[in-house]
Amino acid sequence: MEKEDLTDTIAAISTPIGEGGIGIVRISGQKALKIADKIFVSLGAKPSAFKTYTIHYGKIVESGNVLDEVILTVMRAPKTYTKEDVVEINCHGGIVALRDVLELVLKNGARLAHSGEFTKRAFLNGRIDLAQAEAVIDIIRAKTDSALRLGLNQLKGGLSGEINKYRESILDILAQLEASIDFPDEEISGADLKHLSDKIEEVSAGLEGLIENSRCARILREGIHLVICGKPNVGKSSLLNALLKEERAIVTPLAGTTRDTIEEVIDIAGIPIRIVDTAGILEPRDLVEKKALMRSRKEIATADLVIILFDGSKRLSKEDTLLIKKLRTKTVIAIINKIDLKQKIERKKILREFKNVIDISAKKSKNIVLLEKMIADLIYGGLVLTESVMVGNLRHIQLIRKAQKNIAQARESLDNKLSLEFIAQDIKESLGFLDELLGKRFSGDLLEKIFSEFCIGK
């Protein structure tokens, strides 16, 4: 990767490529307004004379030729996304107009931004911390309202505020320890030791609480992998359509209509769920069905949750029994489908094998709401979502866990009356992990890894 220079003026297209009403070319840096002066023509003054947070109509012109009719926005440092001068050019949304305007901006002194470089500058220039910067990508990738709220709360500083609170407590603890180390003649009283131990325990418990909340947060952020399986013609495609509330999969009375996996993302109780409808093939007749069967097995093996469908209007078959045996190590919801028909299935056998059983009619969408509730209950495992700060980023979870481990170790050492130097070292290491989370200390490799996941225009 080319080394970045923060004194460069950068530019990129900040909207998705393709046809649309508008597309935005964003410029950030010391030369942003000078570049705009060279290419933007309007009836009024030059962009460098415009007031901050103002919008102006005009044209982008190159050598007398109009490239596009645009709206130009000026935002002056330091109250901008990057804390630098920022100019945004709202063009028509076609790829040609956007490309031509961007190329003209680059010709006049900007360079093409790297992935996530606008947000990286916001972090390096001190507008946001690293945890807030990482929230930007979570907001962009959010697939449900719950995941979006989680990202927005982190961007506003919800997590950072909580971590800073514990960080301040750790600094107070460290200051008291180091004062005692520097002045060994002044012994710490028993009451002071008890107060110090309680304070360390308070931080430890707080960090432990963040770790416990992380499971819910990761579910909201990353979602789960759910697979629908069953022998041919039990109603898997009808169930997928009922959950999606649209005709996504072809449904016919013929067995084996689905010859490959079908994948969609749905929102159940705020949880993004990647739901896969597998082919109901147990004995492949040709190469296509053989590959479909292999793919179905792979999906089942990697699933977080499996739904197995049974046709309630028929007795259990050898194929049903075979699937039951293969799912004994998985988290499963057993569905008895087609309850709108006369029932012949051996219900007691299913109840012996599975504790999560529900009757539905996928065709008539009966009990689908109850099924969605059962899915949500199984996923959350009894955990209750709250408006409190939740940690969903794996990097953050790992650092908080390390910080908590060191804090807990420090309290144990203090209670066992070990040397204050050892205790202080654990406290310092805990502080270091929280500093790494917030980006108070970081490596170039870490930043490259984080921001490489962003799109170029963000």
Q: What is the mean pLDDT of residues 323-337?
A: 91
Same-domain pairing of 155 and 95: no
Both tokens of 413, joined, read 């050492």
Same-domain pairing of 173 and 267: no
Domain CATH number, residue 275: 3.40.50.300
Cα angle: 190, vertex 196, 198; to 5 degrees: 105
Same-domain pairing of 236 and 275: yes
- 161: Cα within 13 Å, side-chain hemisphere: 9
3-state secondary structure of 75: strand
Reported confidence tier of residue 257, pLDDT bands at 50, 70, 90: very low
Q: What is the mean pLDDT of residues 212-232?
A: 85
Total number of domains constituting the chain:
3
Same-domain pairing of 188 and 307: no
Picking from 144, 146, 150, 140, the residue whose alpha carbon sits closest to that of residue 16 is 140
Do 267 and 143 contact (CB within 8 A), yes or no? yes
Calculate the CA dihedral of residues 68, 72, 78, 79 and round it to 10 degrees.
-130
Reported confidence tier of residue 189, pLDDT bands at 50, 70, 90: low
| Among candidate residues 338, 354, 380, the one where a domain is terminated | 380
The predicted pLDDT at position 224 comes to 86
Highest mean pLDDT among 119-123, 266-270, 316-320, 417-421: 119-123
- Distance, CA of 86 to CA of 28 (rounded, Å): 4
Q: Is residue 388 part of a domain?
A: no
Q: What is the mean pLDDT of residues 152-158?
A: 92
Answer whether residue 128 shows pLDDT above 50: yes
Q: What are phi and psi for residue 186, nearest 5 degrees?
A: -95, 95
Q: Is residue 2 part of a domain?
A: no
Q: Is residue 180 part of a domain?
A: yes
Residues forming a β-bridge with 24: 90
Answer whether residue 1 shows pLDDT above 50: no
Q: Is residue 453 part of a domain?
A: no
Same-domain pairing of 368 and 263: yes
Do 281 and 232 contact (CB within 8 A), yes or no? yes
Q: Is residue 427 part of a domain?
A: yes
Q: pLDDT (tens digit, 9 = 90+) per residue, 440-452?
A: 999 889 999 999 8
Same-domain pairing of 372 and 228: yes
Same-domain pairing of 321 and 352: yes
Same-domain pairing of 96 and 157: no
- Distance, CA of 430 to CA of 437 (rounded, Å): 11
Answer whether residue 361 shows pLDDT above 70: yes
Q: What is the mean pLDDT of residues 230-255?
A: 73
Reported confidence tier of residue 186, pLDDT bands at 50, 70, 90: low
Mean residue pLDDT of the chain comes to: 88
The predicted pLDDT at position 297 comes to 81
**Extended strands (E) in 14-143:** 22-28, 40-41, 54-62, 65-75, 86-92, 111-112
- Distance, CA of 458 to CA of 455 (rounded, Å): 6
Same-domain pairing of 155 and 180: yes
Q: What are phi and psi for residue 436, nearest 5 degrees?
A: -65, -35
- C-alpha dist (Å) from residue 74 to 58, 172, 327: 13, 44, 59
Domain CATH number, residue 104: 3.30.1360.120
Q: pLDDT (tens digit, 9 = 90+) per residue, 260-292?
A: 567 888 888 888 888 988 876 555 555 666 676
- 179: Cα within 13 Å, side-chain hemisphere: 11
Q: pLDDT (tens digit, 9 = 90+) per residue, 55-71?
A: 999 999 999 999 999 99
The predicted pLDDT at position 250 comes to 41
Please give the residue range of the domain that contains residue 114: 10-129
DSSP code per residue over 19-30: S-SEEEEEEEST
Residues forming a β-bridge with 264: 275
| Among candidate residues 333, 358, 380, the one where a domain is terminated | 380
Q: Is residue 452 part of a domain?
A: no
- Distance, CA of 54 to CA of 267 (rounded, Å): 39
Q: What are phi and psi for residue 75, nearest 5 degrees?
A: -135, 120
Picking from 431, 406, 424, 427, the residue whose alpha carbon sits closest to that of residue 184 is 424
- C-alpha dist (Å) from residue 454 to 9, 126, 450: 19, 19, 8
The residue with greater pLDDT, 47 or 16, is: 47
Same-domain pairing of 108 and 64: yes
Q: Is residue 1 part of a domain?
A: no
The predicted pLDDT at position 204 comes to 94
Q: Is residue 428 part of a domain?
A: yes
Same-domain pairing of 272 and 325: yes
Same-domain pairing of 427 and 356: no
